[in-house]
Amino acid sequence: MRLRRSLAVACVTAVVLYGISSAWRLIIAQADSDSGVPRQVMGGLETRMDATGDDTPFTGDRPQDVERVGAGIDGVPLALPNGKVMMLLTHGARGSQYLAARFSTDNGRTWGESRKLFDFPANGGSFSNGPALVSKNGTIHVFGMEMYGFDFNDRQKSKCHLWHSRSRDGGRTWSAARKVDFGLNYTGAVNSAFQLRSGRIICPVSGLSDRRIGPWVSLAPYSDDDGATWHAPKQQITMNTGAPDWYESGAVEPVGIGLKDGRAWLLPRSQDGYQWESFSKDGGITWTPVRHTRFVNNQSAMALMRLADGRLILFWNNCGPEGVHGIYAERLVMCAAISSNEGKTWRGYREIARRTSPGEISYPFITQTRDGYVLLATDGNLWRVRPDFLLNRDMTEDFSAGIRRWSTLAAKGVFAAPDPDGGKGRVLSMVKPDVGAPSAACMSFPYGVRGDIAIQVRMEPGFQGAHFTLSDHYDLPRLPRDGSFPIAITPSGRVMIIAAGGAWVDTPGDLTAGKWHELRLRWNCGQGCAVLSLDRTEIAQMEQFVRTPGVCYLRLCSTAPTVDTAGLYIRSVKVRTSD
């Protein structure tokens, strides 16, 4: 703490005299990377501090958009008809396990003590609980897995069952946990349960089959009598996506929802970087061949539910799969999107939470509370999310909250700094203090098929180059990818774009060291093109390099081949998007 205060005083003094010198910027960057400007890590999640001492997480556009309840609240949340919310979690060791619940009477803000609901069979496998559902009759349904073992050498010896229990009196008494036949002997995941308008309840699972390619298949066991009896599915939902290891290949971890037109919609994940989908018109008996959705996803399940007003909301890991320095991106951010037309189009794609240390934030479970917020539970953390913030089209980043909107994981040299012109505000500063480590950052913004982004940027004398691009998903900063609309700034200040075949070509735009400039990009992913302007003068018409339906991330990185103590500043980022 003393080091941070000393650096802040030194930086302000330097600004008053003339601006931040290269030497001071290097010291600040090194202190940032060494926690001299510390990060407070709450459960490994983003709460970056800067010179103001502000340690409030910044996701959403306003503080009330995403409220983090705290760490250590683990389990599956379920809103009850009486307004209470229960948090379900299995306790105990194999042979003496039981399902317990904590209850909240204030929409998930505070929680009571855990109490036992029922015991699992002592002579069974190892039990864990999964999704929960309140049916139209008011019955509470809970599902989970009963694990016996997984054999990597002989899949026939693997055994894990699906179980179900229900309460018809508001959770006071429960039926015994019973096996649900899903047609195979091993399920690796149960992440979703939903009810169709016909009253049929479906609990989709993934099962281990005898298939050579894509041995994991998705299945949809169902009940037509409010969970009293269950029926094994007649069809396996399959895909021929491979993986380096057979035990990760196929249609895995499906989630689903009943649509207003009577169809069932199922979304299994795969190993090719996308979520897939299948539909059923006959209540889940037969399913259409799977196809890609527009959702990037890697090796983790989604969460999908219908809000009280009829809209759909979706939570997922909108991440690329690759890593840097042993850190992998596939589960580092949790994002959300909302649809008012039954999933045909989506808005938002906004970050709800983000890791700042190696690890993951994944396997979400969600429910909607009486005040309209959505409770998101994952990895022992709980958030309250206001759905309507996902409808925002505009966003302005003025760094009044430091750089807590930005991910800098696996990178060095990006930090919040005083305005170099001596103003009261702060700016993003990017230098490269370590030739062996990337200097980079990325920020999420409202998803747009079309849009406009304006970046106020200033390079300093001695600057050695930078790269900007837009993308439709999160990647670790400074991965070797160019995104949808790549722009480069050379050490001399020349603005360049990527042309056909991936070649970099000059534009007539030049930045002057020590001067603020506005780079502005107007994109249209529907037409696969964009217009680039510098200081309100058009300098290039661009083709979309990586074709995506829309974009929702800004990525920037230093391209300096050596240590760069000059770097650049960004004073503001303004985004406006549309479908």
Provide CB contacts within 8 A for 494, sequence distance 6+: 506, 507, 509, 510, 511
Band of the pLDDT at 480, cuts 50, 70, 90? low
191 domain residue, yes or no? yes
* Structure confidence at residue 387 as a pLDDT band (50, 70, 90): very high
Residue 497 located in a structural domain:
yes
Looking at the fold, whether 110 and 195 belong to one and the same domain comes out as yes
pLDDT at 245: 67
Q: What is the pLDDT of residue 501?
A: 78
Nearest residue to 388 via CA among 308, 334, 302:
308
Q: Are residues 205 and 234 in the same domain?
A: yes
Spatial distance between the Cα atoms of 121 and 96, rounded to a whole number of angstroms: 8
* Mean pLDDT confidence for 361-388: 95
- Name the residue among 563, 546, 565, 549 with its Cα closest to residue 447: 549
Question: Is 126 within the bounds of a domain?
Answer: yes
pTM: 0.90
Q: Answer yes or no: is 332 within a domain.
A: no
**Residue-level pLDDT at 36:** 40
The predicted model gives 125-136 an average pLDDT of 97
133 and 91 in a single domain? The answer is yes
My answer on whether 379 and 418 are in the same domain is no
Q: What is the pLDDT of residues 68-125, one digit of tens each?
A: 887 788 999 999 999 999 999 999 999 999 999 999 999 999 999 999 999 999 999 9
What average pLDDT score do residues 455-475 get? 96
Whether the pLDDT of residue 28 is over 70: the answer is no
> Residue 126 maps to which CATH number?
2.120.10.10
* 413 and 386 together in one domain: no
Residue 143 phi, psi dihedral angles, 5° rounding: -125, 160
> Which pLDDT score is estimated for 212?
85
pLDDT at 421: 93
pLDDT value for 8: 33
pLDDT digit string, tens, across residues 273-292: 889 999 999 999 999 999 99
Indicate the range of 134-143, 375-384, 568-577 predicted with least confidence: 375-384
Residue 327 has pLDDT above 80, yes or no: no
Query: Is 276 found in the same domain as 410?
Result: no
Q: What does 286-326 look like in DSSP terms, one character per residue?
A: S-PPPEEEEEE--SS--EEEE-TTS-EEEEE--B-S-EETT
CATH number at residue 546: 2.60.120.200
pLDDT score, position 24: 31
Instruction: Kindly report the average pLDDT of the chain as a whole number.
Output: 88
Residue 237 is assigned to a structural domain of this protein: yes
**Domain count along the chain:** 2
3 state DSSP class of 156: helix
Confidence of residue 243 (pLDDT cuts 50, 70, 90): low
pLDDT tens digits, 222-234:
999 999 999 999 9
* Range name among 112-116, 209-213, 252-256, 262-266 with the lowest pLDDT average: 209-213
Assess whether 400 and 516 both reside in one domain. yes
Query: Does 346 score more than 70 pLDDT?
Result: yes
Same domain, 217 and 72: yes
Is residue 415 included in any domain, yes or no?
A: yes
Residues 406, 307: one domain? no
pLDDT at position 427 is 96
pLDDT at 21: 34
Last residue of some domain: 349, 374, 391? 391
Q: What pLDDT does residue 117 have? A: 98
Q: Show the CA angle centred on residue 325, arms to residues 319 and 330, nearest 5°.
A: 15
Tell which of 346, 375, 391 closes a domain.
391
Which tens digits make up the pLDDT trace of 145-200? 999 999 988 888 999 999 999 999 999 999 999 999 999 999 989 999 999 999 99
Q: Is 500 helix (H, G, I), strand (E, B) or coil?
A: helix
HSE-CB of 126 using CA atoms within 13 angstroms: 8
* Same domain (yes/no): 260, 208: yes
Structure tokens at 44: 């490994």
Q: Quick one: pLDDT band at residue 306, thresholds 50, 70, 90?
A: very high
pLDDT band at 298 (very low <50, low <70, confident <90, very high): confident
Same domain membership, residue 444 and residue 300: no
Instruction: Tell whether 376 and 430 lie within a shared domain.
Output: no
pLDDT (0 to 100) of residue 419 = 92
Closest CA to 415 of 404, 423, 425: 404
Q: Is residue 331 part of a domain?
A: no
- The pLDDT score that the predictor gives to residue 244 is 64
Comparing 492 with 320, the larger pLDDT belongs to 492
Q: Is the confidence at residue 20, as pLDDT, over 70?
A: no
Tell which residue, 362, 302, 352, has the closest CA to residue 330. Answer: 362
Dist CA 287 CA 264 (whole Å): 9
- How far lies 299's CA from each of 43, 271, 274, 321, in Å? 21, 7, 9, 8
Residue 214 included in any domain: yes
pLDDT of 1 reads: 31
Q: What is the chain's alpha carbon radius of gyration, rounded to the nearest angstrom?
A: 25
Partner residues linked to 441 by β-bridges: 556
Task: Domain of residue 183: give its range.
Answer: 66-317+362-391
Give the whole-angstrom CA distance, residue 477 versus residue 553: 11
Best CA proximity match to 565, nearest among 442, 415, 461, 421: 461
